[in-house]
Structure 1
Amino acid sequence: MRFPPLLLTIALAGLSALAFGTAHAAPWTVQVRDASGAPVPDAVVAVELRGQPAKAAAGVTATMGQKDRQFTPQLLIVQTGTAVNFPNFDTVRHHVYSFSPTKRFELKLYSGTPAEPVVFDKSGVAQLGCNIHDRMSAHIVVVDTPVFGRSDAQGEVKLDLPAGEHRLRLWAARLGNAAPTVQPLTVAAGAPGVLKVELRD
């Protein structure tokens, strides 16, 4: 299934783009809304910056646990190359898997923490499940940038963005396993602003 492109509207809050050098980052607020104008919480917003490394530095780790027969958190955002640990805090064993093209793996019935983490070396969305507990589900969104965030209850994410020509990627759970949608983003030098993103599916 193909999704329509995002509609982006940029409203600059700063008055001057000339006051600062291009090396300085400025605070931006990304507002994610649906077609009716309602905020979209728990949306993933990532901005790929020119010159920034796509992959995480060696040794970067994250955690996707299991507690009370649920994944915790149910949405995890990591940079490409991150090693993710899957500790089981329950008294029952879990069998964690993903059949998503972004990362296919299985951690067969286990307790405690597997000796080796799973390295997510490709950007995209991986949906997780448990072969023993069908109601368990979570997503790991893998992005080629260290600049990312998750929208709050008001559908907002705050990011510090330098001037330049960047790319914005957006994903929300309603898009399922679809890859994050990408749009160009131009940030003027030293200008803070508000980026309004309309998510249509």
Structure 2
Amino acid sequence: MEIYLPLFPLNLVVYPHEELNLHIFEERYRQLISECLETGNTFGIPAFINNKLPGFGTEMRVLALHKRYDDGRMDIKTIGTRIFRIATFENPAPGKLYAGGLVEAVESEPEMGDDLDELVGKLTQLYRLLDVKSEIDRTTPLLSFRVAHKIGLSVEDEYKLLTLEHENERQRFLIRHLDRVLPVVSEMERTKDRIKMNGHFKNLDPLKF
């Protein structure tokens, strides 16, 4: 079923259940957020990539208004609710300063995924190499969305992940990415270790020819 949403295009990808803090300063988006605060209605953040709206985005709900400035700017906290696909786009929406359009909701089932063990293992390996402390809750549904911003994906790849319908597909996508990244990070660690040895005395056996 299609619904009409106010749209706030941004050069980023937001996932369901992700919390996002925003500083609102443009007049058109001050209008949009003010209306959401008054009515409790949601708005959409479609991904704006390479100066285009490729079509997918995330429906957002305003959780809190942290600060309203004297000039009308706002600091807000939002959360992603569900993914949508744009059906029509109007800029501006009728009678508004901001854009809007009909969107079709794309529901994400709370799957655990068949490749969970492999994904968690590779994530653990990456964080260990980077010396990053990160708790991986393997019981979290849609784990792929929860870790996507933390493994070095490009915005284009983050968008590709958003468009994949099933958790199995998303986990395999992330595993392929990690398979490319892990050897690079491992080599960086070995290089750092070699650099640390520079300037130190080394006990070397003389070569015999």
TM-score range, shorter chain: under 0.3
> Could you say which structure has the higher helix fraction?
2
Say which structure, 1 or 2, has more relative contact order (CA 8 Å, 6+ apart).
Answer: 1
- TM-score normalised by the chain length of structure 2: 0.25
Bigger radius of gyration: 2
